[in-house]
Amino acid sequence: MSTVNSQDDEDTFKILVATDIHLGYLEKDPVRGNDTFVTFNEILDHAQKNEVDFVLLGGDLFHENKPSRKTVHSCLESLRKYCMGDRPVQFEILSDQAVNFHYSKFPWVNYQDENLNISIPVFSIHGNHDDPTGADALCALDILSCAGLVNHFGRSTSVEKIAISPILLRKGRTKIALYGLGSIPDERLYRMFVNKQVTMLRPKEDEDSWFNLFVIHQNRSKHGATNYIPEQFLDDFIDLVVWGHEHECKITPFQNEQQRFYISQPGSSVVTSLSPGEAVKKHIGLLHVKGKKMKMEKIALETVRTFHIEDVVLADHPDLFNPDNPNVTQAIQAFCMEKVELMLDNAERERLGNPHQPEKPIIRLRVDYAGGFEPFSIYRFSQKYMHRVANPKDIIHFFRHRGQKEKKDIDLNFGKLVSRPTEAMTLRVEDLVKQYFQTAEKKVQLSLLTERGMGEAVQEFVDKEEKDAIEELVKFQLEKTQRFLKERRTEAEEEKIDEEVIFCCTHMHRKRSNTCRNDIFTTVVRKMVDIISSYPFHIGLGKSTRMGQA
């Protein structure tokens, strides 16, 4: 693949490429709360100054599935400020927009809406943080798209089969086929690829004259056998893949050895985990496309908070630290303090002078204390850096690597967004389910709540704050139970069952607004088990005098 001439002309698309902006990440943090908004503005400012044709985002524009009012408000503010205006948009859309944006209430690209004066169209797929959830399958991007400020694309509605229809763009003599695929659980997408259920549709005419650009938001590095998308799964007619989700900046297009295509991984624009991958200098890209040629220009982000991470293995310094020395802990602490001071110096030197870049750096010192050492008090240590570091509470991370080699230390993985600490809750609720489940199973041999359905509901409830996920599942199961119990019953028995179910629903409904979700959940599951146990059920035993009612 050759590069575009440095001279852009009326045939050259200029596309600003960015991903994983995670608006609202740590928004309550008094020090870091504004970081994501500042950098989003910087990104849009680059788009404006470079007079790009459009902005292309690779998912996770929002950190939370249900972003706060403040986050949505700030995002709308930035988009309205930077992406509206009189500069005319220079490309046209050749594909059927009703197909490209079929799930939208306004199924056309925003810059062609007569009521909106858009200067920079933003095209975005959704990520795993801001994916569609709930009964209406809406996501945060849909708010922006309904307000006319973003073009949300790449959304598939089936969970078994995907046919990706590209948005076809033309500027002068250059034609781009823009393919997008919003985040899908990796295992599911892996399975679909293996079963040949993912198709990328191609324009009928002049198939080879298009520059094929694909945006995806999945695991790129292998986490378990099917928990990622191998690059070679992707069609080889593609020219460039913009890969979101992975936070390490590897934006310079890198050719896949087996396929013909290039992959650009822009990486996140904010540090969301204290791992080495996030310490790589963050960039966005200015992609020039002319005919079938492209050039990715790197733009260093200047407002990202500096992040320095280092490792210390205490056992590697036998000259300095002797575990038998009663003062060894103080010595270790002093050593770490020296290290942190050096890191602070480096961070200061690295600052770029952008007035919007926040001052305090993020500092992480990972201390391997294997070999008979004791960790010192992190609280005391943190206190010293309260005013100099953005993350005083977690500057130091103690771990034991040596002698634990059989266990993989998750925290040592590079460039991967560490999932949020919700395991405790998940386990707790799931245990509860299993417990009740077993009781129910023993008594009535009824598969009341499948582990799978419940697992997914719990996940939605916890990760996406989808408050009704559990309730909806329970309701669905209640109705199923109700129908099931009523089979071969007398009318009087049926009435009693209905009464119990109504009571159960009312109870759940009343509890909704004023108690903790766990309580509701426990109460309802308990009630369901009670209902079932109080109607000893044996197939074929009941008597039937059913009336003809639904």
Contact window for a copy of itself (CB under 8 A) among 72-80, 207-215, 409-417, 537-545 = 72-80
Q: Which of 158, 353, 424, 544 binds a copy of itself (CB under 8 A)?
A: 424
Q: Which is nearer to a copy of itself, 114 or 257 (CB)?
A: 114
Residue 116, interface with a copy of itself (CB under 8 A)?
yes
∠ CA 409-406-427, rounded to 5°:
55
User: Of residues 69, 196, 204, 405, which one binds a copy of itself by CB under 8 A?
Assistant: 69
How far is the C-alpha of 235 from the C-alpha of 228, rounded, in Å?
A: 16
Q: Are 255 and 261 in contact (CB under 8 A)?
A: yes
Q: Tell me the C-alpha distance between 345 and 341, whole Å.
A: 6
Stretch that binds a copy of itself, among 206-214, 255-263, 334-342, 507-515 (CB under 8 A): 507-515
Shortest distance in whole angstroms from residue 327 CB to a copy of itself: 18
CA distance 365 to 247: 20
List beta partners, residue 170: 92, 175
Nearer to a copy of itself, 48 or 218 (CB): 48
Q: Which of 325, 383, 404, 419 binds a copy of itself (CB under 8 A)?
A: 383
Query: Binding to a copy of itself by residue 483, rule CB under 8 A?
Result: no
142 binds a copy of itself, rule: CB under 8 A = yes
**Segment interacting with a copy of itself (CB under 8 A) among 17-25, 325-333, 494-502, 532-540:** 494-502
Nearest to 209 by CA among 111, 54, 57, 94: 94
Residue 476 in the binding site for a copy of itself (CB under 8 A): no
- Taking the complex as a whole, the smallest distance from the CB of residue 260 to a copy of itself amounts, in Å, to 41
Contact between 106 and a copy of itself by CB under 8 A: the answer reads yes
**Given 1, 5, 51, 77, the residue binding a copy of itself (CB under 8 A):** 77
317 makes contact with a copy of itself (CB under 8 A): no
Q: Is residue 85 a contact point for a copy of itself (CB under 8 A)?
A: yes
- Asked if 490 touches a copy of itself (CB under 8 A), the answer is no
- For the chain, what's the residue count? 550
- From the list 89-97, 130-138, 159-167, 177-185, the region that binds a copy of itself by CB under 8 A is 130-138
Cβ partners under 8 Å of residue 42, min gap 6: 301, 302, 303, 354, 356
CB 153 within 8 A of CB 101: yes
Measuring CA to CA, which residue among 283, 451, 294, 311 is closest to residue 370? 311
Q: Give the tokens for residue 492.
A: 């009087």
Among 353, 421, 540, 548, binds a copy of itself (CB under 8 A): 421
How does DSSP assign 468-523, residue by residue? THHHHHHHHHHHHHHHHHHTT--HHHHHHHHHHHHHHHHHHHHHHTTS-HHHHHHH
Answer yes or no whether residue 147 interacts with a copy of itself by CB under 8 A.
yes
The H or E element containing residue 290 is strand 283-290
The nearer residue to a copy of itself, 293 or 388, going by C-beta atoms, is 388
| Binding of a copy of itself by 98 (CB under 8 A) | no
Q: Do the Cβ atoms of 183 and 59 come closer than 8 Å?
A: yes
- What residues from 392 to 411 belong to the interface with a copy of itself (CB under 8 A)? 393
How many CB atoms sit inside 10 A of residue 513's CB? 6
Interface segment toward a copy of itself; rule CB under 8 A; list 37-45, 163-171, 366-374, 416-424: 416-424
Q: Which has the closest alpha carbon to 43: 56, 28, 24? A: 56
CA angle at 322 for the pair 319 and 326, rounded to the nearest 5°:
140
Q: Which is nearer to a copy of itself, 118 or 242 (CB)?
A: 118
Of 322 and 426, CB closest to a copy of itself: 426
Q: Which is nearer to a copy of itself, 201 or 425 (CB)?
A: 425
DSSP state of 245: S
Q: Kindly report the three-state secondary structure assignment for every residue of 63-93.
A: CCCCCCHHHHHHHHHHHHHHHECCCCCCCEE
- Minimal distance, residue 423 CB to a copy of itself, in Å: 8
Which range of residues in 141-149, 182-190, 228-236, 365-373 is near a copy of itself by CB under 8 A? 141-149
According to CB under 8 A, which residues from 148 to 177 bind a copy of itself? 148-149
Q: Is 419 in the site for a copy of itself (CB under 8 A)?
A: no
**Per rule CB under 8 A, is residue 337 in the interface with a copy of itself?**
no
DSSP 318: T
Question: What is the smallest separation between the CB atom of 88 and a copy of itself, expressed in angstroms?
Answer: 13
Coil, helix or strand for 458? helix
- Residue 415 as a binder of a copy of itself (CB under 8 A): the answer is no
Alpha carbon distance 236, 446 (integer Å): 49
Rounded to the nearest 10°, the torsion over CA 178, 287, 104, 166 is 0
CA distances from 338 to 73, 320, 332, 365 (A): 43, 13, 10, 11
Q: Is 185 in the site for a copy of itself (CB under 8 A)?
A: no
Alpha carbon distances (Å) from 451 to 196, 431, 448, 479: 28, 11, 9, 18
The two three-digit tokens of residue 503, written as one number: 């009571």
Looking at 354, 506, 534, 545, which residue binds a copy of itself (CB under 8 A)?
506
Catalytic residue among 46, 129, 217, 288: 129
Please indicate whether residue 152 is annotated as part of the active site.
Answer: no
> How far is the CA of 350 from the CAs of 259, 304, 308, 487, in angstroms?
38, 11, 10, 73
Q: Give the total of residues touching a copy of itself (CB under 8 A).
A: 58
How many CB atoms are located within 10 Å of the residue 466 CB?
19
Site string for a copy of itself, 446-475 (x = CB under 8 A): ----------------x-----x-------
Catalytic residues: 129
Footprint of a copy of itself (CB under 8 A): 28, 66, 69-70, 72-73, 76-77, 80, 84-86, 105-106, 114-118, 134-136, 138-140, 142-143, 146-149, 377, 379-380, 382-383, 393, 420-422, 424-425, 462, 468, 495, 498-499, 502-503, 506, 510, 513-519
